[in-house]
Amino acid sequence: MRLIGIDASRAETNEKSGTENYSYQIIKAIASTSCQDELRLYKRADGLWFDKSLQVEEIKIGLSFMWTQLGLAAKTWTDKIDVLFVPAHVVPFMKNPLIPVVVTVHDLRTEFLPQHSSLLQKFYLNRFTEKVRAMLASHIIAVSESTKNDIISRLGVSSEKITVVYEGVDHLHYDVKKLTDQSKCDDVLSRYNIANDYLLFVGTIQPRKNLVRLMQAFAQVASERQGLDLVVAGKKGWMYDDILATPAKLGLSNRIRFIDYVKTEDLPYLYGGAKALVFPSLYEGFGLPILESFAMGTPVLTSNISSMPEVGGEFAVYVEPTSVDDISRGIFDVLKINAEPQSFVDYSKNFSWEKAGRQTLKILQDNMR
């Protein structure tokens, strides 16, 4: 039996953002396949234990500093791993050179938007570390064709070394049938003090998400659409002071609401209750909220750049994200959509974690030593 080692350090938090959610879902999907190989998860000392129903071994590495470059690297020398999978982190530079590594690259945000990246991101993921990561990897998984093209053009990596594996939607969790429970829907909206019709944004509060322009565009819409609010769901990231100050500057503090991080179990109801998801990001490696919104039958406004048209297909309303006027136009357009919610749901089913898990496992097996 061969051994697949997996960096599970980003899958352990209760408050999962994009890469943490991907790590958790892809590990769970791989473990749920009819895999004949042994799976060993490497975790931080204070990490949560994984799903006990999965047939995986969990090893805690007792380091709080240099966990990857010292702790995880050491395991490639002491453990008889046949391949190491890094779903959302950097490759240990001091790894055993005989151990193949497959790494998922979600985006090159520090390349395209360095002014919108935190100091920690710039330290871990800059031009040098990105190139080293690509060089050390036996194979790279890109979460979209857009990301693959970025890796090729910015890092000079051969296309043969990269395979696109789309992210998925947890269709058991994001199930439009949940919306038939009106009391549950009302309860969730009540707990977040949402009383009016609303547009929804989901994501970390940071400049890359283009929230200032979104709020400025909403200000143009608000005067014509009384009773419509903008709800921003997501934890604070970095460089968010100007973002949080914008509603007051626009005189819309009572109609633009930041509700912080939303529990995973509440998100389906927030998506389902919204008039539309508004997601005019400046750059995305994938853009999972687009699919989550579609899975709940809710239309989507998003950007016409990066990976977002690839994810939204023919079903999203697209805008030029640097134009406040075009975002405003898009909001009016998305509010006019009268398509059957089931059409959005059906489209979202083209993307599943089960499919992503099978494809990822195949790549891991193909790259074993």
- CATH of residue 131's domain is 3.40.50.2000
∠ CA 7-140-105, nearest 5°, is 70
Q: Per the confidence metrics, is the pTM higher than 0.85?
A: yes
Q: What is the CA radius of gyration of the chain?
A: 21
Chain position carrying tokens 């939607």:
169
Are residues 206 and 291 part of one domain? yes
Residue 188 CA: distances (Å) to CA of 99, 197, 233, 259, 298: 47, 14, 13, 12, 17
Are residues 362 and 295 part of one domain? no
Are residues 75 and 155 part of one domain? yes
Are residues 149 and 55 part of one domain? yes
pLDDT score at 63:
84
Q: Domain range holding 138?
A: 3-168+352-366
∠ CA 259-265-287, nearest 5°, is 70
Residue 137 CA: distances (Å) to CA of 77, 82, 85, 102, 321: 16, 14, 10, 6, 34
Q: How many domains are contained in the chain?
A: 2
Contact 26, 54 (CB under 8 A): no
pLDDT score at 180:
97
Q: How far apart are CA 289 and CA 159, in angstroms?
A: 28
The pLDDT profile of the chain, 369 residues, written as one tens digit per residue, is: 899 999 999 887 777 777 889 999 999 999 998 778 999 999 988 766 667 778 889 999 988 788 999 999 999 999 999 999 999 878 998 999 999 999 999 988 644 434 444 455 545 555 566 777 788 899 999 999 999 999 999 889 999 999 999 999 999 999 999 999 999 999 999 999 999 999 999 999 999 999 999 999 999 999 999 999 999 999 998 899 999 999 999 999 999 999 999 999 999 999 999 999 999 999 999 999 999 999 999 999 999 999 999 999 999 999 999 999 999 999 999 999 989 999 999 999 999 999 999 999 999 999 998
Are residues 253 and 121 part of one domain? no
Are residues 186 and 291 part of one domain? yes
Are residues 161 and 261 part of one domain? no
Residue 366 φ/ψ, nearest 5 degrees: -70, -20
pLDDT score at 109:
60
Are residues 185 and 101 part of one domain? no
Are residues 293 and 153 part of one domain? no
pLDDT score at 228:
98
Alpha-helical segments (H) within the chain: 18-31, 73-78, 109-112, 119-124, 127-136, 145-155, 182-191, 211-222, 241-250, 267-273, 288-295, 308-312, 324-335, 341-348, 353-366
Q: How far apart are CA 309 and CA 29, in angstroms?
A: 26
Are residues 198 and 158 part of one domain? no
Are residues 75 and 38 part of one domain? yes
DSSP-derived secondary structure letter, 59: E
Are residues 325 and 191 part of one domain? yes
Which tokens in the block code for residue 215?
């709020």
